[in-house]
Structure 1
């Protein structure tokens, strides 16, 4: 029995050794893969990469590319990257890649306008990424794409596609990323994305001619995580436009022609984390505009619009909001309760390039987590210390540059806050040259070197500022310790 067991262990050992040797042979084969001589594939060039060859053909024509492909066909090579850039390649002919093992194919800026049906079919089992950006395609070459059953990424940016026809991407059932940025798309057939519903996670329709959200075509994409429709001509969004996109995490509607954000327009997007509405003409935001986004929305961009007041009523329900961008609007006044009810989670607040003339009361009192405050390029002449005091403990960056600040004793808070090293982004603050003007001298002073003596200011110790936060905590502990000692001494005295 022992002899049989020993023989069995020996066989297992030999089997393991053979497997290891086979693996080593495979690795060696991969490592030993070599580029063909440059003279054989000129004007193309070749480099050996970890996963295969990286072949680049640029500034040449169709015949030279066809010749180079013919040379490569007989060599059993793994071509991880084939990049055809800046060429005169108006047509991708049938079977041009027959016999080649290509994983990533780029045909960029090569005047490509025709992709024949059989041009890509032979590499459909290997190809995972296809980039045909910056060419002259006027429609999606569906027949050529239908056999690319392992494709993960398709980049068709910067072409001349004016519409997406029904079942334009059928067959691409593994596709996860589709980008169609900067085409001329104005019409999207309701069945344009049929076949993509299983895997598609990111869709970029930005930089086109859309005037409405193509709701009927999008509704099937329930796996979609990111939808980009920036830089279109969408003038109106309505409740139901985003129905079906139940897994959407990020929505980009920047730089369209929106004027209003109506009630419950995003109510189906309960998992939405980021919403970009900047660069529109928005002047009205309904109080229920963000209904449905309560649990997950953290990033909201409303900059470069025509908003006149902070839309408190609409924002109140967003109790997880961290990043609020309201730059470049027409806000001139901040109400004392502007951030009441929702400001506790905000870490980033951008109010630069507005028309804010004064800061009064306890407007920042609810911003208990604020780390970055940008008030650059407003009309502020004074920034009182009592307004800033509630947020000095948490602030890491504060930008008050490009305001017509007057040098006064109230600005001591800034100078002392800069001295406090606690959690501050010193590198960022070093780049900011913040100045105020001494009126009677007609001279500018840096807030870091504010001449408090010359201004006859009462120098403050800032015992209640961020600088003393740690000191206060230590003081509490010290007092508690002393009280404990006193109690112990009292007990000893009674006992004796």
Structure 2
């Protein structure tokens, strides 16, 4: 679909979710729909090829109830901070599958966002890509940094988000193991995704913070056995995903 009728959504006054993924439509065409969907809570416009300029031209202030916004796969090179600050009810932002290489100071300041999806970007290429102030004045509880070339990831780079993060996704970053630097400053962490990281085993000396984990995803690795004392290593664990490993 390459165009939208101006009155396309004139009928469903209580529409809560709108998904337009994969359609090559312009920001102007999307904006024309907003006067008819003021109760919208979720908008997905992923893979629409809008670019930085197209996203910046969206008039999202017309849908004040928006809680989730999906703008992944739009060739973005930066976080559209101004747009995010104009949405007081926004809780989740999906910025995955873009070309974002840096998080500038105050990238998410003055937002009520609690979940940020940044998988499949370029944030691990430069050591100083994430500013310590990027998450200032936020309460981020879930952060997806999967497939971002973070082979030397250190939790301290998350700056002011460190005390509040409960869910962290580091899948697909070629980390190789359960290094202390991955989680040592994340005092609230309970859910950790470490899929597709080339991990060969679960060591007997896991970092202490792993004792608080309730969920651990280590699927798509090279693990061929579980240690006998797994219960003492991970005493709080409720769910473990070991799918697609080498266990016989």
TM-score by length of 2: 0.76
2:213 matched to 1:346? Answer: yes
Query: Retained in 1: the 8 A contact 2:105–2:131?
Result: yes
Please point out which of 369, 389, 404 is paired with 2:236: 369
Structure 2 residue aligned with 1:115: 5
Task: Specify whether residues 142 and 372 from structure 1 end up closer, same or farther in structure 2 by C-alpha distance, changes over 3 A only.
Answer: closer
Instruction: Give me the whole-angstrom Cα distance separating, in 2, the residues matched to 1:315 and 1:236.
Output: 21
Task: Specify whether residues 212 and 301 from structure 1 end up closer, same or farther in structure 2 by C-alpha distance, changes over 3 A only.
Answer: same
How far does residue 377 in structure 1 lie from its aligned partner after superposition? 5.3
- The equivalences for 1:150-229 within 5 A come to 151-153=38-40, 176-188=41-53, 190=56, 192-193=58-59, 195-196=61-62, 198-229=64-95
Larger CA Rg, structure 1 vs 2: 1
Structure 2 residue aligned with 1:127: 13
Please point out which of 112, 116, 124 is paired with 1:259: 124
2:190 matched to 1:322? Answer: yes
- The equivalences for 1:41-440 within 5 A come to 111=1, 113=3, 115-116=5-6, 119=7, 123=10, 127-129=13-15, 131=18, 133=20, 137-141=25-29, 144-145=32-33, 147-148=35-36, 151-153=38-40, 176-188=41-53, 190=56, 192-193=58-59, 195-196=61-62, 198-245=64-111, 247-259=112-124, 262=130, 264=132, 267-268=135-136, 270-332=138-200, 336-340=204-208, 342-355=209-222, 365-375=232-242, 402-403=246-247, 435=248
Task: Specify whether residues 214 and 270 from structure 1 end up closer, same or farther in structure 2 by C-alpha distance, changes over 3 A only.
Answer: closer
Task: Specify whether residues 306 and 223 from structure 1 end up closer, same or farther in structure 2 by C-alpha distance, changes over 3 A only.
Answer: same
Task: Specify whether residues 114 and 196 from structure 1 end up closer, same or farther in structure 2 by C-alpha distance, changes over 3 A only.
Answer: closer
How far does residue 315 in structure 1 lie from its aligned partner after superposition? 1.3
Instruction: Give me the whole-angstrom Cα distance separating, in 1, the residues matched to 2:169 and 2:89.
Output: 24
Task: Specify whether residues 360 and 209 from structure 1 end up closer, same or farther in structure 2 by C-alpha distance, changes over 3 A only.
Answer: same
Aligned residue pairs, count: 242
Instruction: Give me the whole-angstrom Cα distance separating, in 2, the residues matched to 1:357 and 1:132.
Output: 41
Task: Specify whether residues 365 and 289 from structure 1 end up closer, same or farther in structure 2 by C-alpha distance, changes over 3 A only.
Answer: farther
Task: Specify whether residues 182 and 308 from structure 1 end up closer, same or farther in structure 2 by C-alpha distance, changes over 3 A only.
Answer: same
Task: Specify whether residues 144 and 326 from structure 1 end up closer, same or farther in structure 2 by C-alpha distance, changes over 3 A only.
Answer: closer
Query: Retained in 2: the 8 A contact 1:290–1:315?
Result: no
Structure 2 unaligned residues grouped into runs of 5+: none
C-alpha offsets along residues 358-384 of structure 1, whole Å, 9 cap, x if unaligned?
877978745221133345555xxxxxx
Structure 2 residue aligned with 1:173: none
C-alpha offsets along residues 5-40 of structure 1, whole Å, 9 cap, x if unaligned?
xxxxxxxxxxxxxxxxxxxxxxxxxxxxxxxxxxxx
Instruction: Give me the whole-angstrom Cα distance separating, in 2, the residues matched to 1:353 and 1:280.
Output: 17
Structure with the higher helix share, 1 or 2 = 1
Instruction: Give me the whole-angstrom Cα distance separating, in 2, the residues matched to 1:300 and 1:250.
Output: 10
Query: Retained in 2: the 8 A contact 1:224–1:248?
Result: yes
Instruction: Give me the whole-angstrom Cα distance separating, in 1, the residues matched to 2:8 and 2:217.
Output: 48
C-alpha offsets along residues 26-65 of structure 1, whole Å, 9 cap, x if unaligned?
xxxxxxxxxxxxxxxxxxxxxxxxxxxxxxxxxxxxxxxx
Query: Retained in 2: the 8 A contact 1:263–1:286?
Result: no
SS at match of 2:240: strand
Structure 1 unaligned residues grouped into runs of 5+: 1-110, 154-175, 379-401, 404-434, 436-496
Query: Retained in 2: the 8 A contact 1:332–1:354?
Result: yes
- The equivalences for 1:19-34 within 5 A come to none
SS at match of 2:83: helix
C-alpha offsets along residues 95-142 of structure 1, whole Å, 9 cap, x if unaligned?
xxxxxxxxxxxxxxxx462535xx469x48x72328583655334326
